């Protein structure tokens, strides 16, 4: 009898020690001390019961390969446990083991078809697999049908349809999502983009501004908002937003040129000159149109010598640029003093470009110069 009591006592001590190891591991995990938590779990005698806990600890430490190993062990030990299967499938997805992940999510859907998240996760896997986007959309739709407030599926569906330019479908999903998540930045962004691609720029502005009010800011947001303001002739606001693009990408030459164009439309030709010049310094492509614009900005400021140089540069870029040819003649007309030299400019232009759309203007100016010369002779 005494011997039996001793055995029972020893077993009780061992059980208490094992229970203590599990409690210590859980406590360490809860406090974020994951390395020590793993050591405590490894001391637990029923290792299969703590494989998933070890896996979670390794995940928290960023040791993904070890986490996969222990999730696999846990799954093999408890193949019918949905939570273990789900966690294992998710880590397989994150480590790009798509075929295995797809198979497990399929099993989970079979076990509980009405769980929208299983369909959503299956959609994520299919989205990553080649030629499976349509099937992924089917899964996201299944998740949405099971739970029409499922935000992640709504965003996926709206993004898909915005790429397809199916604007009504985008509105349907986004509006449904906003019923449950009125402050969702993703949904605000999709709403703004949808109006932008529908060319309803006034409404696009409203939603991009709402998105910014939510604390969102990106190169894409400010670029599209700038373009929307430009389409609505609000050039000052368009410039303001395009300059924010340059805060993200200081070497964005296109933004510099666009800003220059907006300043031209505001008749602020000094600023237009500054920004177009910045663009030209950064660009290494045929720039005849851009140099022509720069020349026009110089002309508005009566900087005729600089304008002549700009038009000549435009013609070096493209000798067939008829606009640059005519504006060069027109600028020399302003710059030259000798009336005979001016007359020769227009005669040469007529002879060289008999089919130019600028020919009526050239003939009109030539006629004016001839009258002026005649009057001077009198």
> Domain extents for the chain?
148-211
Q: Other CB atoms closer than 10 Å to residue 37's CB: what's the count?
A: 26
**What's the rounded Cα separation, in Å, for the pair 181 and 172?**
14
The answer on pLDDT for 56 being more than 50 is yes
pLDDT of amino acid 368: 81
At the top level of CATH, which class does the domain 148-211 belong to? mainly alpha
* Among the listed residues 370, 297, 280, the one whose alpha carbon sits nearest the alpha carbon of residue 331: 297
CA angle, residues 349, 351, 356, in degrees to nearest 5: 60
Task: Summarize pLDDT for 207-222 with one digit per residue, the tens.
Answer: 999 999 999 999 999 9
The answer on pLDDT for 149 being more than 50 is yes
Task: Summarize pLDDT for 330-358 with one digit per residue, the tens.
Answer: 889 888 888 888 889 889 988 888 888 88
pLDDT of amino acid 285: 55
Task: Summarize pLDDT for 228-267 with one digit per residue, the tens.
Answer: 999 999 999 999 999 999 999 988 988 999 999 999 999 9
CB 40 within 8 A of CB 25: yes
**What's the rounded Cα separation, in Å, for the pair 222 and 226?**
6
Q: What is the largest CA-CA distance in the chain?
A: 146
Q: Which residues of 120-134 are buried (b: 16+ CB within 10 A; e: fewer)?
A: bbbbbbbbeeeebee
Average pLDDT over residues 64-70: 94
The answer on pLDDT for 47 being more than 90 is no
**What's the rounded Cα separation, in Å, for the pair 230 and 247?**
19
pLDDT of amino acid 286: 59
CB 70 within 8 A of CB 54: yes
Only one residue has tokens 């299944």, namely 142
**What's the rounded Cα separation, in Å, for the pair 107 and 125?**
14
């Amino acid at each position: 009898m005494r011997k039996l009591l001793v055995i029972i006592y020893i077993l009780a001590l061992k059980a208490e020690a094992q229970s203590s190891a599990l409690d210590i591991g859980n406590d360490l995990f809860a406090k974020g001390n994951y390395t020590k938590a793993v050591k405590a779990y490894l001391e637990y005698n029923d290792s299969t019961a703590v494989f998933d806990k070890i896996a979670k600890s390794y995940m928290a430490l960023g040791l993904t390969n070890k986490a996969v190993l222990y999730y696999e062990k846990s799954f093999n030990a408890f193949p019918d446990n949905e939570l273990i299967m789900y966690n294992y499938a998710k880590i397989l997805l994150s480590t790009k083991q798509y075929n295995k992940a797809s198979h497990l999510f399929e099993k989970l859907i079979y076990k509980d078809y009405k769980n929208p998240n299983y369909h959503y996760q299956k959609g994520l896997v299919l989205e990553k697999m080649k030629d499976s986007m349509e099937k992924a959309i089917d899964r996201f739709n299944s998740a949405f049908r099971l739970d029409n407030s499922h935000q992640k599926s709504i965003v996926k569906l709206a993004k898909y349809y915005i790429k397809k330019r199916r604007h009504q479908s985008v509105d349907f999903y986004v509006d449904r999502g906003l019923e449950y998540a009125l402050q969702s930045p993703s949904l605000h962004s999709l709403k703004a983009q949808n109006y932008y691609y529908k060319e309803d720029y006034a409404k696009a502005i409203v939603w991009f501004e709402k998105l910014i009010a939510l604390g969102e800011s990106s190169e894409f947001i400010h670029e599209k908002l700038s373009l929307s303001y430009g389409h609505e002739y609000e050039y000052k606001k368009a410039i303001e937003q395009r300059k924010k693009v340059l805060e993200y990408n200081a070497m964005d030459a296109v933004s510099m040129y666009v800003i220059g164009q907006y300043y031209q439309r505001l008749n602020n030709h000094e600023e237009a000159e500054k920004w177009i010049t910045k663009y030209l310094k950064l660009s290494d492509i045929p720039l005849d149109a851009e140099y022509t614009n720069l020349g026009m900005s110089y002309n508005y400021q009566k900087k005729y010598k600089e304008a002549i140089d700009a038009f000549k540069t435009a013609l070096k870029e493209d000798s067939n640029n008829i606009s640059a040819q005519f504006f060069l003649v027109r600028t020399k007309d302003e710059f030259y003093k000798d009336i005979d030299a001016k007359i020769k400019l227009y005669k040469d232009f007529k002879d060289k470009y008999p089919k130019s759309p600028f020919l009526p203007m050239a003939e009109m100016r030539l006629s004016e110069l001839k009258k002026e010369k005649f009057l001077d002779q009198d």
